[in-house]
Structure 1
Amino acid sequence: MKRAHILVFLAPAVIVYTVIMVLPLFATLQLSLFRDGGFVGLQNFRTLFGDTRWSASFWNALGNNLWFFIVHMLVQNPIGILLAALLSSPRLRGAAFYRTAIFVPTILSFVVVGFIWKLILSPIWGIAPGMLDAVGLKSLFSPWLGKEGSALTTLALISVWQFVGIPMMLIYAALLSIPDEVLEAAEMDGVTGWSQFWKIKLPLILPSIGIISILTFVGNFNAFDLIYVAQGALAGPNFSTDILGTFFYRTFFGFQLQLGDPNMGATIATVMFGIILAVVCVYLFAIQTRLRRYQF
């Protein structure tokens, strides 16, 4: 009887997840194996990796995706950890306000964030040149979104600004879950302040940091909205901000004079799925098992 209750309560979620996620996934995998209505096996994958017209765009998008992820790992997550450590201090006044203020951008629409930052960074009517001029740094201003060498990094930093609240809150929750007895014992041994964070707290929250890292990877390799809103489907300038999401969009749905190719689009989506699946599996079976020894 108990098992029947479990099945009844799980059934709605399983059905919805199957219809929305599982069936489209298998349909995409199937579509990648066909061409012009006929089964071609792995021919679409050979075209993607072997045909220079496709491979150049693919490797460019993959490289940009990797850089997008690296910026988040090196900037967003360390800042999130630092903010969580500061906000978890019982001596800090107004911590609730600061947590809310930092987390608010994560609930904003990508359209709003992209449009606002394009206005801020515009060399014509943006406020960034004036703000830098006010502090004597106007010479540092540049049309960052319009330059091939800086556009992708600028968008990555905008994404960091928007989502730094997520790792902050996750690490904050992990810090609060550390037993008081452990911290009291550390204080009795004279380990306090930042020394306590580095020697006691940080090792104990490593599993949470690992989860945040894999979530960052998955989120960045599924990125699309911000690039599309800020730079369009062509991910300019000159495809310098093109990532797998925008590359897939142009291929599957077509854009301007480029006709849509559902089969090649499904092939790109399958490769994206394979990359994400491989990295998640490596984390789950090779890294997470080593981090469990730090958990209570």
Structure 2
Amino acid sequence: MTETALPGKKPFRWHIGVFLAPAVIIYSAIMILPLFATLNMALFNLTPEGVTTFVGLANFQTLFGDPRWADAFWNALANNTWFFLIHMLVQNPIGVLLAALLSSPKLRMAAFYRTAIFIPTILSFVIVGFVWKLILSPIWGIAPGLLDAVGLRWLYAPWLGQEASALTTLALVSVWQFVGIPMMLIYAALLTIPDEILEAAEMDGITGAKQFWKIKLPLILPSIGIISILTFVGNFNAFDLIYVSQGALAGPNFATDILGTFLYRTFFGFQLQLGDPHMGATIATAMFGIILVGVCIYLFTIQTRLRRYQF
């Protein structure tokens, strides 16, 4: 006898679980389990006798309240915020502008320009940091000579060696490397705008820059929102460029220290500073909380407002 499904009852789709199982297992092994292990480690500490003991939120109280830790943490958080703001205010607007220019049907060699702008994003952080450090070097760098060639030698300064300019300089280097990502995402969003909408706008006399500001920009706002949250998450997880360019101490005088480098020194130790995995896990948990709060604010406030522009 063959088994038949009961009337009105949907058959169990077991193949969905089979297809999802590999991804769920891998994601849980490399993301979920380490996340909970880190959260758990932040709640413990080592006694002078070397015994691990549960301390609850005492590590967070130390991180936020003890001057030995709090000063470095708030300095890193402030630097990380400035690093993020430069990307938001420079990288993403430039990406939108480049996408608008490259999407013009009148532009020749648009594919070449897109490729040339996107290539830096596939380069290693080590290469980018080392090359730019050589370019900006006051001893053997080419930046002083290039500025001198155009009569702007007086503008040059050892930007990576000055506390006031080192972080901004590295942020602009990061902008140069990753501006191709928002450019390509916005370019793809512009291509999805139906031709009927643009043709109707042209019939109403809305063309050129006016068409972009009044028609295209509102329609790609959801994509700009996604790029913004990706920028936020990526910048608050930043580490590589600062470490390659300025080292684990994030010089000069911790002027380029961000949460990633602060976490590295705390967890693994560096030079005379001994590693403290429990305080390192506390910093990592704080970083996770900051990113989580930022993502939730975006999802429950900004994203709901941007849905009105989707078509």
- For the superposition of Structure 1 and Structure 2, which TM-score range results when normalised by the shorter chain? over 0.9
For 1:178 and 1:128, the matched residues in 2 are separated by 42
Which amino acid in the other structure matches residue 17 of structure 2? L
Compared CA separation, residues 2 and 93, structure 1 to 2 (3 A): farther
Specify the code of the residue in structure 2 equivalent to 1:26: F
| Mapped partners of 2:19, 2:119: distance in 1 | 33
Q: Give the CA deviation at 1:289.
A: 1.0
Structure 1, unmatched stretches of 5+, are none
Q: Secondary structure at the match of 2:147?
A: helix
* Equivalent position of 1:235 in the other structure: 250
1:258 to 254, 273, 298: 273
Superposed, which structure 2 residues align to 1:192-203 within 5 Å?
192-203=207-218
- CA distance in 2: counterparts of 1:264 and 1:165, whole angstroms: 36
Letter of the structure 1 residue corresponding to residue 29 of structure 2: V
Match of 1:122 among 137, 140, 150: 137
How far residue 3 of structure 1 moved from its aligned partner, in angstroms, is 2.2
CA distance in 1, matches of 2:144, 2:169: 15
Question: Match for residue 76 of structure 1?
Answer: 91
Q: Counterpart of 1:33?
A: 43
Residue identity opposite 2:105 in structure 1: P
Q: How does 1:149-188 map to 2 (within 5 A)?
A: 149-188=164-203
Does residue 5 (structure 1) correspond to residue 15 (structure 2)? The answer is yes
Aligned-pair identity in percent equals: 82
Distance 1:46 1:223 in 2: 25
4+ residue stretches of structure 1 with deviation over 6 A?
none
The reply on whether 1:288 has 2:298 as its aligned counterpart is no
Q: Name the counterpart of 2:4.
A: none
**2:206 — aligned with what?**
191
Q: Look up the equivalent residue of 2:31 and give its one-letter code.
A: M
Per-residue displacement from partner, 1:1-31 (whole Å, max 9, x unpaired)? 7721111111111111000000000000000
Q: Does 1:19 align with 2:34?
A: no
Looking at structure 2, the residues matched to 79 and 286 of structure 1 have their Cα atoms a distance apart, in angstroms, of 25
For residue 179 of structure 2, what is the amino acid of its counterpart?
A: V
Whole-Å separation in 2 of the counterparts to 1:123 and 1:248? 30
TM-score, structure 2 length as denominator? 0.94
Q: Does 1:44 align with 2:59?
A: yes
| One-letter amino acid of the counterpart of residue 285, structure 2 | T
Q: Which residue of 2 aligns with 1:104?
A: 119
Whole-Å separation in 2 of the counterparts to 1:6 and 1:223? 36
Of residues 92, 95, 106, the one that matches 2:107 is 92
Q: SS in structure 1 opposite 2:31?
A: helix
Q: Which runs of 5+ in 2 are unaligned?
A: 1-10, 47-51
Deviations 1:100-146 (A, max 9, x none): 00000000000000000000000000000000000010111000000
CA gap of 1:92–1:2, structure 2 versus 1, over 3 A, is farther
**Which structure shows the bigger proportion of residues in helix conformation?**
1
Q: Which residue of 2 aligns with 1:270?
A: 285
Distance 1:5 1:193 in 2: 51
Give 3-state SS (helix, strand or coil) of 2:13's partner: helix
Q: What is the Cα deviation at residue 249 of structure 1?
A: 0.2
CA–CA distance in structure 2, aligned partners of residues 187 and 274 of structure 1: 47
Q: Measure the CA separation in 1 of the matches of 2:89 and 2:56.
A: 40
Deviation at 1:258, TM superposition (A): 0.4
| Residue identity opposite 1:107 in structure 2 | I
C-alpha distance in 2 between matches for 1:173 and 1:103: 14
In terms of Rg, which structure is larger?
Answer: 2
Quote the residue 2:7 is aligned against: none
Distance 1:143 1:248 in 2: 27
